[in-house]
Amino acid sequence: MTLNNDRRIARQIRLAVVALLVSTFAWGQQSRTASELIQQFKSTPIFWEQFEIAEKIVALHDRSVLPRIESWLGDDDRHLRGNVAFVFASLGDDRGFQVIVDILRDTKGDRPPGQGNATAGWSLRGQIRTDRYYAAHLLGDLRDPRAVPILVPLLKDPDVNYIVPWSLGEIGDTPAIPPLIETLDDENPDMRALAIYALEKLKAKEALPRIRAMVNDNERIHFDGLGTVAEAARAAIVELARSRQQVDSTK
């Protein structure tokens, strides 16, 4: 009995040592990966490439990276600042969410030229517009329901209104449905189509009567191959009807 117990204890010790070695190796690998990603992030001047690297940093689920990028939460370049804030918010640090909201609400602050302003000839107004637009996009990327009441009033803000329906659809929270249904009456055909897409994403079956009333809305939109609002409506009707049938079949 004593010999068997000794063997069992020795085996448990060996397994514990192996587990410790594997864990230490994995931690070392992750630490190196995090350092490499942070260096790539720092050296990448294009905001959407920075964001792709930010997503990889988030995927590590390693909050120890936050102190290493914390100083960039106040960077003059709002696109860089927003990408860093996305990492913070995604890893559970509410400072990130607030930084993105502050960028979105900053309509007058002075700033130097930064990323995202692709228009010919830099202007402060143009930089503010692109910074705010990107912040609204980041709120959609975060999928945090707290952003819904912040974004809804911006459905009528000409700086960012085009991205707001997409962000609301990505967040997926049902309180966004009524204001999106109201946006179906917007005078801009692009906004009507974008609202349709968002309602489809939200599987908003309650929007079907209003969307059905738009099948003869032949105003052209200025994206997605220059189609019409009617085409967007017909596609959404098919998808929403299919979603309703799937729900009914599970009851």
pLDDT tens digits, one per residue of 18-31? 444 344 444 444 45
If DSSP codes are grouped into helix, strand and coil, which group holds residue 167? helix
pLDDT averaged over every residue in the chain: 88
The count of structural domains within the chain is 2
What is the pLDDT at residue 21? 39
The region of weakest confidence among 62-71, 99-108, 116-125, 126-135 is 116-125
Domain with 237 in it: 146-251
What is the pLDDT at residue 122? 87
Q: In this structure, are residues 188 and 214 in contact, taking their beta carbons and an 8 Å threshold? A: no
**Are 190 and 99 found together in one domain?**
no
User: Among residues 136, 147, 65, 64, which one has the least CA distance to residue 54?
Assistant: 65
Q: In this structure, are residues 105 and 114 in contact, taking their beta carbons and an 8 Å threshold? A: no
> pLDDT category, 121, cuts 50, 70, 90?
confident
- Whole-angstrom Cα distance, residue 221 to residue 233? 12
What is the pLDDT at residue 89? 98
Q: What percent of the chain has pLDDT over 90?
A: 73
**Are 128 and 167 found together in one domain?**
no
**Are 94 and 166 found together in one domain?**
no
What is the pLDDT at residue 251? 53
**Are 28 and 130 found together in one domain?**
yes
- The last residue of one of the domains, among 111, 127, 142, is 142
pLDDT tens digits, one per residue of 73-82? 999 999 999 9
**Are 2 and 117 found together in one domain?**
yes
- The last residue of one of the domains, among 142, 177, 205, is 142
**Are 5 and 105 found together in one domain?**
yes
What is the pLDDT at residue 110? 87
**Are 18 and 55 found together in one domain?**
yes
pLDDT tens digits, one per residue of 87-120? 999 999 999 999 999 999 999 878 889 898 766 6
Instruction: State the average pLDDT over residues 177-205.
Output: 97
**Are 94 and 195 found together in one domain?**
no
pTM above threshold 0.75: yes
**Are 51 and 120 found together in one domain?**
yes
pLDDT tens digits, one per residue of 174-187? 999 999 999 999 99
In 10 A of CB 132, how many CB atoms?
Answer: 21
What is the pLDDT at residue 119? 60
